[in-house]
Amino acid sequence: MAKYVFITGGVVSSLGKGITAASLGTLLKKRGFKVSIIKVDPYLNVDAGTMNPFQHGEVFVTDDGAETDLDLGHYERFIDEPLSDQNTVTTGKIYSGVIEKERCGAYLGGTVQVIPHITNDIQERLTKAGEGQDVVIIEIGGTVGDIEGLPFLEAIRQMASRVGPENAVYCHVTLIPWLEAARELKTKPTQHSVQELRRIGILPNILVCRTSHPMDEGMKNKIALFCTVPPGAVIEVPDEPTIYQVPLSLHQRNLDGLILKYLSLPFEKEPDLSDWRLVVDRFMNAPRAVEIALVGKYVQHKDAYLSVVEALYHAGISHNVKIKVRSVESADVETQGVEAMLNGVNGVLIPGGFGSRGIEGKIATIRHARENKIPLLGICLGMQMMVVEYARNVCGLAGAHSQEMDPATVHPVIHLMEEQVGLARMGGTMRLGAYECALTPGSAAARAYGVERVSERHRHRYEFNNTYRRRLEDAGLKVSGVCVGRDLVEIVELPGHPWFLGGQFHAELKSRPVRPHPLFAAFVGATAQNL
Ligand code: GLN
């Protein structure tokens, strides 16, 4: 049976609970345990699929097509295991499941209540996710004290009785703020959030204290005394220059050893963290740098293109070059001109997106990169716009467009997929998740991947219109990847250009710090050619 690590958050949000959970996962996996991680999001949305990137950052997609919170991306990148719909739980998902069962008469006429029906359902999901695992880490989104988080806290409180107290450990990530006026760290908010946890019956075993200033022993002892944990279980985690440092830093402070002790698991074998050390060293100390323009429409939100930026970093690490990302709002390209916005960049990346705002700026950017032989990588919407640009400016199809931007376009080189026509619902209706793609031998794509078939993840409604394939290919834009078993273009590229390739899928989702995605690696390699 699996053992459980519950991670809650106190005082404020954005303390890095997700990175803490992911880092702990890395450490436990490196010690030889089978680990999985679950994100619990107490919001009412069934999944993250309908959420605006401005509010919530990117939507991470798993192989089985779940549209999830971006923390799952951290988990996958850190523990290097593919996750699934099982790894994400929301209030919306739990309640809709329970209500559906009630409609089918599953509760035999009983009154359906938060306790026990909702809390049991949560626990059943957590138990199921534990099958075949040694340790399951569960991160509860939000902050202790939030009304909507209560059923989940109650469920994890009960889990200790379900699995036995020796199989559950509670880890509370909290803030020790620095008060500039007093020039000292303050423990009171942490005391209050632990009191709140205890009020609902959870006694945290370990406190992960986020601080901007070093804590002394006296302060740790004080927190331990007030919060009823041993002084050794008060772990100070300072801000780190990169998230890749966090597993190393947590290990140095023995968080993994402590967790294993609580769970009565063997803790003597040290994890081999040499690959993470190399990642941090190269990330911090790469001797050369390339600047890559990320031309999108949600660039003000730092998490909207999180996996894309991470994938660029991973590729930079593999080439031992530093990546500087220049965030360019595509609408600004329209008003300020492409030369001004892209001046001096070594490469351009056009990420995914929805809707028509800023699209002409993307098309102008693509033209500029194509004509000036600047390496360019297009992801999903980016690939679609590469097709539109080529159709307009090289094939002479002046009215070429995507139907997403202009439903009445003269030349719909990108059109709505057949199965998407007339759908009335929004959530979970796109072409989602992993599909296999066959690569054209000898193409830049095939050379980058080094194999003939790949599996990539998708999230889109529109696709390449095959009516125009011949015309585009004759004009030089080659199709180098097609979906297996279906005539759907997945990759286009331009031979003779240093790197001009677009993929209908989200390659960034499968990149790992120690194993960069082949297309990102080849793209960054091309950007570093002329340094
Ligand atoms: N909006 C485009 C589509 O639905 C692209 C989606 C994306 O970039 N994820 O096909």
pLDDT at 132: 95
Determine which residue's CA is closest to atom 5 belonging to ligand 1.
Answer: 381
pLDDT at 445: 98
List, for the chain, all residue ranges whose pLDDT scores fall below the cut of 70. Answer: none
Amino acid at 208: V
- Domains of the chain, by residue range, sit at 3-277, 288-528
Closest to 333 (Cα-Cα) out of 309, 366, 376, 355: 366
pLDDT at 51: 87
Q: Which of 227, 380, 395, 437 is catalytic?
A: 380
Dihedral (Cα; 285, 289, 293, 294), 10-degree rounding: -20
How far is the centre of ligand 1, averaged over its atoms, from the C-alpha of 37 (Å)? Answer: 28
Per the DSSP assignment, residues forming a β-bridge with 515 are: 512
| pLDDT per residue as tens digits for the range 398-429 | 999 999 998 889 999 999 999 898 887 888 89
Looking at the CA of residue 414, tell me the nearest atom of ligand 1. Answer: 10
Please give the structure tokens belonging to residue 457: 């993840």
| pLDDT per residue as tens digits for the range 320-363 | 999 999 999 999 999 999 999 999 999 999 999 998 899 999 99
Per the DSSP assignment, residues forming a β-bridge with 478 are: 493
- Measured from the Cβ of residue 161, the count of other Cβ atoms closer than 10 Å reads 10
Superfamily (CATH) of domain 3-277:
P-loop containing nucleotide triphosphate hydrolases (3.40.50.300)
Please state, in angstroms and as integers, the Cα–Cα distance from residue 413 to each residue in 191, 362, 390, following that order.
60, 16, 10
pLDDT at 422: 86
Please name the CATH architecture into which domain 288-528 falls. Answer: 3-Layer(aba) Sandwich (3.40)
Judge if the upstream peptide bond of residue 412 is cis by omega within 30 degrees of 0: no
- Helix or strand (DSSP H, E) at 136: strand 135-140
Pocket probe mutation, ligand 1, options 67, 377, 459, max atoms within 8 Å of Cβ: 459
Gap between the Cα atoms of 490 and 458, Å rounded:
10
pLDDT at 424: 76
Looking at the CA of residue 404, tell me the nearest atom of ligand 1. Answer: 1
Query: For the whole model, what pTM was predicted?
Result: 0.95
